[in-house]
Amino acid sequence: MISHMARPKVYSDDLRDKLLDAAVEVVADRGVGALSVREVAHLAGTSTTAVYSLLGSKTALTAGVLVRSFESFAAHQEEAVANSAPADVLAGLGAHYVGWALENPRLYELMFGGSLAGIPQSPELQAAATRAMTPLHDGVVAAIAAGFVRRDAETATVMASLWAQVHGLSMLLLSGHFPAEADPATAAMAVVDGWRPPSTRTES
């Protein structure tokens, strides 16, 4: 007698997107610590089996949220480049960086707050993270070539300087420790101006 085994259920890519949408919603609202397979499945109107079938594990679900976060951040950075005059790209990137962080504090914390430890660096995640930093890299390269930044400056050093500034500014604003009497835009521009040739610096 031949026994008939049930075929495994096949889930769609649309459901995978729905699960990731739900996971992003949970993390954006309450942080990565609140993320659970059960709640994500409930929000997506499906079972935990679907989550494990489509994503594999809670760790993979978290990685999916990271990918979505980096992609959203990257789109915001790309928008800054598109909407800025060549001489103002670096300032525009900084403003959009801080703006995105303030609008998405828990996603930002997941991306840059040390939560990447233990998350496998899949090609998809690596590509999303690279895309997120590409506008800054390309902006610095273009600024050096055009003379908006000192021509003797090293791309990696300028990038690190600007990134450290906007990251620190974002964290201070998010934690409420940025001085109320200080102007964040002026503080940010001081770092950008530090890399400009004297003749192109912003007048105070």
| Residues 6 or more apart whose Cβ sits within 8 Å of residue 137 | 155, 159
Q: Is the pLDDT of residue 2 over 90?
A: no
Mean pLDDT across the chain, nearest whole number?
90
201 pLDDT tier (thresholds 50, 70, 90):
low
pLDDT (average), residues 132-150? 97
Place of tokens 């930002």: 108
pLDDT at 118: 74
One-letter amino acid of 33? G
Q: Range with the lowest mean pLDDT among 74-83, 111-120, 180-189?
A: 111-120
Domain(s) labelled CATH 1.10.357.10 in the chain stretch across 65-200
Domain(s) labelled CATH 1.10.10.60 in the chain stretch across 9-56
203 pLDDT tier (thresholds 50, 70, 90):
low
Span between the terminal Cα atoms of the chain, in Å: 88
DSSP assigned state of 101: H
- The yes/no answer on whether domain 9-56 falls in CATH 1.10.10.60 is yes
Determine what percent of the chain is predicted with pLDDT higher than 90: 76
CATH code at 65-200: 1.10.357.10
Question: How far is Cα of residue 88 from the mean position of the Cα atoms in its chain?
Answer: 21
